[in-house]
Structure 1
Amino acid sequence: MRVSRLTALTAAFFVAMSLALTGATAASAAQLTASGGYVALGDSYSAGVGAGSYDSSSGSCKRSTKAYPALWAAAHSPSSFSFTACSGARTGDVVSGQLGPLSSATSLVSITIGGNDAGFADTMQTCALQGESACLSRVAQARTYIESTLPGQLDSVYSAITNKAPSAHVVALGYPHFYKLNGTCVAGLSEKSRAAIDAAADDINGVIAKRAANHGFAFVDVNSTFAGHELCSGSPWLHSVTLPVDESYHPTAAGQASGYLPVFGSAA
């Protein structure tokens, strides 16, 4: 009986210890990405164009202290933070100019990329200036590119990230819908143009999600947080046509803090 009781007590002790360690392990895992180095890659949506408060040393890259990578780093104090995202970046620019800080010590990487490859700026300029027919044609061209060419370009970027930072948790973030359909806008683009632009955003997000999954990366869809804050919503977190013109159709500071940051934080 004494042996059985001792065995039972010993078993109970180890069960309790196991549960305690499981809880400690879960807590440690939650802090893992904060304990290693964080590198923020990508285009203007990661750089924070449109949010203001730009780091003067970043020049035309327009990296903002109000961008979601900077906000996350300030809140979580990773062991190192390298912010190489740049306005106008395409997939090739990331591979050739942004991967320097990546290493085996990097534990977290974030990236938005693909919109400029698909002709984001030219498409929006066409839609804003040339009317519905030209807009629909240009969006269709972009959607064809997204389907046929962008997957291979994303594969190249994602493979390069893995090669340089094999232990990193990588989060690929998507792009929000620009427009709330049947919303408050009474001028500007036609409803067909707005719907086509939103559909192109769905296309690019779908491609990013699939390629990210194939590389073992996390994908974050920001439409859950931007819902109700698109253009024509009455409470937009995106600029419409504005000055400086390069900030047009980019998230505001609120879009970075309340649109991008929460969903990135949940996936980091």
Structure 2
Amino acid sequence: MRLTRFASAATALLAAMALALTGSSTAASAAQPPATSYVALGDSYSSGAGAGNYDSGSGSCKRSKRAYPELWAAAHSPSSFTFSACGGARTGDVLAKQLGALNSSTGLVSITIGGNDAGFADTMSTCTLQGERACVSRVEQARTYIRNTLPGKLDQVYDAIKGKAPAAEVVVLGYPRFYKLGGSCAVGLSEKSRTAINAAADEINTVTAKRAADHGFTFADVTKTFTGHELCSGDAWLHSVTFPLGDSYHPTATGHSKGYLPVLETAA
């Protein structure tokens, strides 16, 4: 009789231990989500133009090992990582050339897009070379495009992403303000030109955030992380006019690691 009771107690103890171990294992599994498949789309603000250390195989796309998608992938070890972003890309380029890696298994997509559609390079060239009046006029032209035409272009891209990767979490990242107003720059663009350029950045972010939200995507705002690190701040995470010229007005490596990566980490 005593042996029977002992055996029953031992069996119960072993069962409790097994349950506890199983529960711990389940909790540990829940705390460690499975690796996801990550696809990085977009323009030069995603490819890393300006950050240096470019992948020689990426050619004019200038995909940098220091760009925020590479940094996120290195930190999180996704099950697969496809870096499709390309310097100079417009919405039409994303649709035509960058969506091939998306599928029903894609878990995360990041993208910056729209600046080139609105004439980013031409606007900054005009502002740099042609003076305040021409700058303000060109910025207003860009803002008119952002308000009236860009929303439809973004809808096409976001619809395509959702259609090809319906289960993916999509993080749409914005653009920083370029200038600290009243900052340390003694030469260069006028304060009126800098104010106009910052206003255009705010407008494209507002439009992009609305279109992203309407598609169920997350908009990741980088203006806060770049605050205090704009041009004329004394601690800029953006290039001013530099060589090569294509790196001008793009985030530095620090801009990617401290400006862009933290907002993607929070959003994803």
Q: Which residue of 2 aligns with 1:63?
A: 63
Distance in 2 of aligned mates of 1:194 and 1:26: 48
Distance in 1 of aligned mates of 2:61 and 2:76: 24
Q: Which residue of 2 aligns with 1:109?
A: 109
Q: Which residue of 2 aligns with 1:4?
A: none
Identity of aligned residues (%): 71
Q: Which residue of 1 aligns with 2:13?
A: none
1:233 equivalenced with 2:237 (yes/no): no
Q: Which residue of 1 aligns with 2:197?
A: 197
For structure 1, list consecutive stretches of 5 or more residues without a partner in the other structure: 1-15
1:27 equivalenced with 2:31 (yes/no): yes
1:123 equivalenced with 2:123 (yes/no): yes
Q: Secondary structure at the match of 1:230?
A: coil
Aligned length: 247
In structure 2, do the counterparts of structure 1 residues 25 and 197 end up closer, same or farther at CA, with 3 Å as the change threshold? Answer: farther
Q: Which residue of 1 aligns with 2:155?
A: 155
Distance in 2 of aligned mates of 1:214 and 1:127: 33
In structure 2, do the counterparts of structure 1 residues 255 and 131 end up closer, same or farther at CA, with 3 Å as the change threshold? Answer: same
Q: Which residue of 2 aligns with 1:40?
A: 40
Q: Tell me the amino acid that sits aligned with residue 39 of structure 2.
A: V
Q: Which residue of 1 aligns with 2:209?
A: 209
Q: Which residue of 2 aligns with 1:7?
A: none
Question: Normalised by the size of structure 2, how large is the TM-score?
Answer: 0.89
Distance in 1 of aligned mates of 2:162 and 2:127: 37
Following superposition, the deviation at residue 21 of structure 1 comes to 10
Q: Secondary structure at the match of 1:176?
A: coil
Question: Normalised by the size of structure 1, how large is the TM-score?
Answer: 0.89
Q: Secondary structure at the match of 2:232?
A: coil
Following superposition, the deviation at residue 180 of structure 1 comes to 0.2
In structure 2, do the counterparts of structure 1 residues 261 and 165 end up closer, same or farther at CA, with 3 Å as the change threshold? Answer: same
Post-superposition CA distance 1:74-102 (Å, at most 9, x none): 11000000000000000000000000000
Post-superposition CA distance 1:186-215 (Å, at most 9, x none): 110000000000000000000110000000
Q: Which residue of 2 aligns with 1:168?
A: 168
Post-superposition CA distance 1:102-147 (Å, at most 9, x none): 0111000000000000000000000000000000000000000000
Distance in 2 of aligned mates of 1:142 and 1:254: 28
Following superposition, the deviation at residue 27 of structure 1 comes to 3.0
In structure 2, do the counterparts of structure 1 residues 21 and 142 end up closer, same or farther at CA, with 3 Å as the change threshold? Answer: farther
Q: Secondary structure at the match of 2:107?
A: strand
Q: Secondary structure at the match of 1:170?
A: strand
For structure 2, list consecutive stretches of 5 or more residues without a partner in the other structure: 1-19
Distance in 1 of aligned mates of 2:38 and 2:146: 28
